[in-house]
Amino acid sequence: MERFIRSDQYHFIKNQAHNLLNSHMTTNDASVTQALQSITQEKVLDLFTELSSEQEQMIAQASDVKDETDAILYFSRLKQYVVPFPKLSEADIQKLFPKVKKLRVPAIPNEEWTELSYIGWNDVSANRKYIITTVDGELTGLYGHYKPLRQKSICSLCHEHEKVGMFTATFKGENKEETISRGNYICHNSQKCNQNIQSRQPLESFIKRMQA
Ligand SMILES: [Zn+2]
């Protein structure tokens, strides 16, 4: 079976299975757990438009998770079918930011590539944040001014309450003399943000909004 699960879908399934696990541990009411089991199954299958019977069987198993051991085993199996983020060399990354002279690219540990919806890093000395992701299937790089916020707030990419900063991108408007700046709060820690992302739709619309 080939890899067919996106990182955001993987995190969604994990989250659903965790909710179910919680229910198993906190309620003795079998009917409650059974109801949640069928909701879980429906929700995880709903993520996909087309599944082979083998794939469907594996995804549906999210509703069989009853304890921590089940969860660990299931997630590690699932992870084998997650499509990793396209592997990029430093030169590939530099090409995505042709205007940036001294680009500092972080090393991403091998095991992390399968859990990424985007690559994001901070260049603290330049007050910048860089983001690479695919938008409508195309690899896209975006950078902007980045200023950490003191208190936690909602991230526009993962929608969780996290340590965030104001990300501001500046670009040319339709009229070439016009400059447009747009800003939004996003997670300070992009690894953490990726773990939170259960739908890549807000990520893609964020990138589009910051470019036009
Ligand atoms: Zn986030």
**How many angstroms is it from 193 CA to the middle of ligand 1?**
4
Per-residue pLDDT at 55: 98
**Looking at the chain, which residues constitute the CATH 1.20.1280.250 domain(s)?**
7-79
Per-residue pLDDT at 173: 83
**How many angstroms is it from 156 CA to the middle of ligand 1?**
7
**How many angstroms is it from 160 CA to the middle of ligand 1?**
6
User: Nearest Cα to 144, choosing from 196, 93, 184, 117?
Assistant: 184
**How many angstroms is it from 85 CA to the middle of ligand 1?**
17
Per-residue pLDDT at 106: 82
Taking residues 176-182, report their average pLDDT.
Answer: 88
**How many angstroms is it from 7 CA to the middle of ligand 1?**
14
Say how many Å lie between the first and final Cα of the chain, rounded. Answer: 39
95-146: pLDDT as tens digits: 999 999 888 888 888 878 889 999 999 999 999 999 999 999 999 999 999 9
**How many angstroms is it from 197 CA to the middle of ligand 1?**
7
142-168: pLDDT as tens digits: 999 999 999 999 999 999 999 999 999
**How many angstroms is it from 161 CA to the middle of ligand 1?**
8
**β pairing state of 179-187 and 138-154:** unpaired
Asked if CATH classification 3.40.50.920 holds for the domain at 7-79, the reply, yes or no, is no
29-64: pLDDT as tens digits: 999 999 999 999 999 999 999 999 999 999 999 999
Taking residues 2-18, report their average pLDDT.
Answer: 97
**pLDDT averaged over the chain?**
94
**How many angstroms is it from 158 CA to the middle of ligand 1?**
4
pLDDT band at 177 (very low <50, low <70, confident <90, very high): confident
More confident residue, 70 or 212: 70
**β pairing state of 161-172 and 179-187:** antiparallel
**How many angstroms is it from 203 CA to the middle of ligand 1?**
9
Identify whether the C-beta of residue 143 lies closer than 8 Å to the C-beta of residue 129: yes
pLDDT > 90? residue 175: no
Taking residues 77-106, report their average pLDDT.
Answer: 92
**How many angstroms is it from 8 CA to the middle of ligand 1?**
12
**How many angstroms is it from 198 CA to the middle of ligand 1?**
11
Q: Beta strands of the chain (E only): which ranges?
A: 119-123, 128-135, 138-154, 161-172, 179-187
